[in-house]
């Protein structure tokens, strides 16, 4: 007798639960377990991956907006490019679309997920830390609150 799990197995074939997976990365070592788990799930389900790095403009949205000069923006964009290229480098055959976006990370990530009909957002429980986290709050926490799709928060090992 076949074991049928509602929504997952229909007869002989496995349906795609996660056709599109968004991996939010900040490029830190603390975020690597989330990247690895997202890629592992993509391999298992034949999913497409969106690897996204968001340049956090929050610190620059106050009266000091002029602080975000072209030079600083270019450095932040380079950091983002390195982070998403790392995802591509370890993808091993998984189709990965990479993007560097800017804005408030949780908002940008969840809006992108809605617009692109993402089935799962994978994010690390810890990314950059220190004063940055104290001022901005946890991006993962905000994504959980705001997302319309499933969110997998991966703890650092």
Q: What is the pLDDT along the chain (157 residues), one digit of tens a residue?
A: 444 444 444 444 445 689 999 999 998 888 899 999 999 999 999 999 999 999 988 766 555 555 557 788 888 899 999 999 999 999 998 999 999 999 999 999 999 999 999 999 999 986 555 544 444 458 888 999 999 999 999 987 6
Look at residue 130 in the predicted model and tell me its pLDDT: 52
For residue 116, report the phi and psi dihedrals to the nearest 5 degrees.
-105, 10
Look at residue 74 in the predicted model and tell me its pLDDT: 87
Q: How far apart are CA 93 and CA 108, in angstroms?
A: 27
CATH of domain 19-154: 3.40.50.620
Name the helix (H) or strand (E) containing 134: helix 131-136
Domain boundaries, the chain: 19-154
Q: How many Cβ atoms sit within 10 Å of the Cβ of residue 72?
A: 12
Q: How far apart are CA 3 and CA 80, in angstroms?
A: 44
Look at residue 70 in the predicted model and tell me its pLDDT: 74
Name the helix (H) or strand (E) containing 51: strand 48-56
**CA 65 from chain center: how many Å?**
26
């Amino acid at each position: 007798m076949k074991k049928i799990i509602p929504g997952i197995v229909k007869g002989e074939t496995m349906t795609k639960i996660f056709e599109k997976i968004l991996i939010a990365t900040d490029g830190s070592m603390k975020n690597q377990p989330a990247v690895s788990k997202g890629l592992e799930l993509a391999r298992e389900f034949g999913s497409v991956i969106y690897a996204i790095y968001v340049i956090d403009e929050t610190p620059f949205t106050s009266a000091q907006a002029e602080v975000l000069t072209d030079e600083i923006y270019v450095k932040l964009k380079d950091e983002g490019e390195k982070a998403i290229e790392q995802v591509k480098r370890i993808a091993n055959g998984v189709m990965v679309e990479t993007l560097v976006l800017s804005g408030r990370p949780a908002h940008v990530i969840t809006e992108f997920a809605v617009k692109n009909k993402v089935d799962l957002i994978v994010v690390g429980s810890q990314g950059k830390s220190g004063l940055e986290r104290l001022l901005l709050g946890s991006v993962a926490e905000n994504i959980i609150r705001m997302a319309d799709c499933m969110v997998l928060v991966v703890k650092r090992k």
